[in-house]
C-alpha cells in the first residue's frame, strides 16, 4: 500500500521560494501513476497545483502563472514542488497525492504540511 | 471546467438521505470523482468514474450522473458522515468543486 509523507519549511518569507517534497513508500514512484500536489488555504477548498509522471512529464495549473516547478527523483523515490515569488495567498496546507492514471482520481494522500508565508 | 457544488451546507438528521450536486460548466469528458474530508484530515476518495465506490467505502454512498450533472447520494446518514464533500474532474485541467458541508443534527 502506497504511503506518502510531505516535508516542508513551515515558514517562507514573501517573495521567496516555497519548496516541499514528498516521500513515497510502499511502491515505486515509477508505477505508471501521476504524482500530484494539491493545496488548501486555511478554511477553504482544494486547489490542484500540478502533477508529474515518472518520465518527468508535467502538467501545471495555469492560474499559477509559471511560478511552479515539479521534479522527481526515482532513485530516492520522492518528488518535489517549488513555488516562486510567494505571497500570503500561498499560505496553505500542501498535500501530495497519487493520481491514478486509469481513472483520474487521487487514491492516496499524504497528511499534508502547513506552509505559512509571512515576514 | 468549473465545477459548482450545491448546496453549500446540508444539515440533516441521522438516517436521512443526503443529495449533493456537482454541476460542470462544460461536459466532463473524462471521469468524475468524489472525496470526503473531515476536519484536520486529508481528503479520502469515495467515488471514481462517477459511480464506482473506492475500496472500503460503505454501500450507502452512491455516485451517479454524466455530462454536466453529477450527484453523490448518501442513502442513510450516519454521524460519522459529517464532513465536507468535494467533486473533481480532469477533462482538460484538473479542477475541484467548492465543496458541500454535511452537518448531522
Consecutive 10-residue runs of chain B (105 residues): their mean pLDDT? Answer: 97 98 93 97 98 97 97 97 97 94 97
The pLDDT, as a whole number, for residue A26 is 97
The grid coordinates of residue A31 equal 508505477
Q: Is B62 exposed, middle or buried (0-12, 13-18, 19+ CB in 10 A)?
A: middle
Phi, then psi, of B11 in degrees rounded to 5: -115, 115
Query: By CA distance, what is A49's nearest residue in B?
Result: B94
CB contact under 8 A, A109 and B52: no
> Per-residue pLDDT for A32 more than 90?
yes
Tens of pLDDT along A42-57? 999 999 999 999 999 9
For A10, residues 6+ apart whose C-beta sits below 8 A from its C-beta are A113, A114, A115, A116
Looking up cell 509559471 gives A66
The pLDDT, as a whole number, for residue A44 is 98
The pLDDT, as a whole number, for residue B29 is 83
Q: What is the mean pLDDT of residues A81-98?
A: 98
Q: Which residues of A touch B95 (CB under 8 A)?
A: 48
A62: contact with B, CB 8 A cutoff: yes
B54: contact with A, CB 8 A cutoff: yes
B6: contact with A, CB 8 A cutoff: no
A101: contact with B, CB 8 A cutoff: no
The pLDDT, as a whole number, for residue A65 is 77
Amino acid at each position: 500500500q502506497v504511503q506518502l509523507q510531505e516535508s516542508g519549511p513551515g515558514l517562507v518569507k514573501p517573495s521567496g521560494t516555497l519548496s516541499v517534497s514528498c516521500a513515497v513508500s510502499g511502491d515505486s514512484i515509477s508505477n505508471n501513476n501521476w504524482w500530484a500536489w494539491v493545496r488548501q488555504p486555511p478554511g477553504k477548498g482544494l486547489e490542484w497545483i500540478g502533477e508529474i509522471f515518472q518520465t518527468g512529464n508535467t502538467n501545471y495549473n495555469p492560474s499559477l502563472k509559471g511560478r511552479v516547478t515539479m521534479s522527481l527523483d526515482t532513485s530516492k523515490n520522492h518528488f518535489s514542488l517549488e513555488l516562486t515569488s510567494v505571497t500570503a495567498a500561498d499560505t496553505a496546507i500542501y498535500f501530495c497525492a497519487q493520481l491514478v492514471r486509469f481513472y483520474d482520481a487521487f487514491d492516496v494522500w499524504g497528511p499534508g504540511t502547513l506552509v505559512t508565508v509571512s515576514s | 471546467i468549473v465545477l459548482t457544488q450545491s448546496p453549500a451546507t446540508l444539515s440533516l438528521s441521522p438516517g436521512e438521505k443526503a443529495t449533493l450536486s456537482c454541476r460542470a460548466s462544460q461536459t466532463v469528458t473524462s471521469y468524475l470523482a468524489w472525496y470526503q474530508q473531515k476536519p484536520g484530515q486529508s481528503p479520502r476518495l469515495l467515488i471514481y468514474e462517477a459511480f464506482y465506490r473506492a475500496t472500503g467505502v460503505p454501500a450507502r454512498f452512491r455516485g451517479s450522473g454524466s455530462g454536466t450533472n453529477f450527484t453523490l447520494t448518501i442513502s442513510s446518514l450516519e454521524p460519522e458522515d459529517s464532513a465536507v464533500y468535494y467533486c473533481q474532474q480532469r477533462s482538460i485541467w484538473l479542477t475541484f468543486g467548492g465543496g458541500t458541508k454535511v452537518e448531522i443534527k
